[in-house]
Amino acid sequence: MKVGIIANPRKSGAEKTIRALCKALEKVKITPVLETVTADIIQSDGGQDAATFADTCDVVAVLGGDGTMLNAANQLGPANIPVAGINIGTLGFLTTCTDTELDVFADAVANKRYTLIKRMQLRAYVRSADGTEQSFRALNEITLARGQTGRLVSLDAWVDGELLNHYRADGLIVATTTGSTAYSLSAGGPLIAPNADVFVITPICPHSLSNRSLVVSDSSVVELAPAKDAECPMLFTVDGREVVEINQGSRICVEQAGHALPLLRLEGQTFYATLRQKLGWGQN
């Protein structure tokens, strides 16, 4: 059995955690396979591109936080390989365990004592006025928001070809159930259990208080575009990374990606337990 390892080089303690994880895996006769940048962190030769992990590894362990998990999901692409997040610090919404539980993790993988939770992803197409098209994949959300100006933007949204609303706001978020605990939540959107077959449209600081989040079926197609009276450019982002300038005449199409990310969950862990821990629920 082999476990691929992707680590965030900017995380304090990354080197120590990589070495400790390798030791824990080798103790249960699992071979660690380091991603290229991860290998560099511990000055090791033979690093491997993460895109090939699906062909060579049984599980991928991602060392960092939720942001590292988002970047790793992008690196792995549509590969159907179990992914486990090991948080260097406290437990995150996407992570399987913390860096104090490496032996527990290694033992669970060796004995296959875990479950897989399929996390839906989004595919977004940006079609420019000149006919060019770019494709992106998101685990958390896509966002269309104001650019360098401090003014509200005007944008239109459609669901399955029908006009939903004309928004005056700082922007609009289309988030998965995974993303419902991230930017969408900060913008006032609802928390959604990861096994719900939906995604959510959340306006960012809307001008009208009647503009609220809308939960739609994950079979829906959502389209966004600058309104006719919009002051462009706007900025389109995917999971907080790729930034594309959106001008008048451009259109964004968002739909389910067609493949989910299998997140590894250890026995005894639940989404609701993570909510209680992260949000302080149930504490007297």
Q: Which residues are annotated as a binding site?
A: 66-67, 140-141, 151, 168, 170, 181-186
For residue 213 the two structure tokens come to: 């989040």
* Burial group, residue 243, by CB count within 10 angstroms (0-12, 13-18, 19+): exposed
Q: Catalytic site residue 66?
A: yes
Residue count of the chain, please give it.
284
SS3 153: strand
CB distance 68 to 62 below 8 Å: yes
Alpha carbons 155 and 173: distance in angstroms, whole number: 12
Q: Which residues are annotated as a binding site for NAD(+)?
A: 66-67, 140-141, 151, 168, 170, 181-186
CB distance 191 to 178 below 8 Å: no
Q: Which of 49, 55, 58, 66 is catalytic?
A: 66
Q: Which amino acid is at 40?
A: D
Decide the pairing of beta strands 243-246 and 59-64. Answer: unpaired
SS3 211: coil
Q: Which residues are catalytic?
A: 66
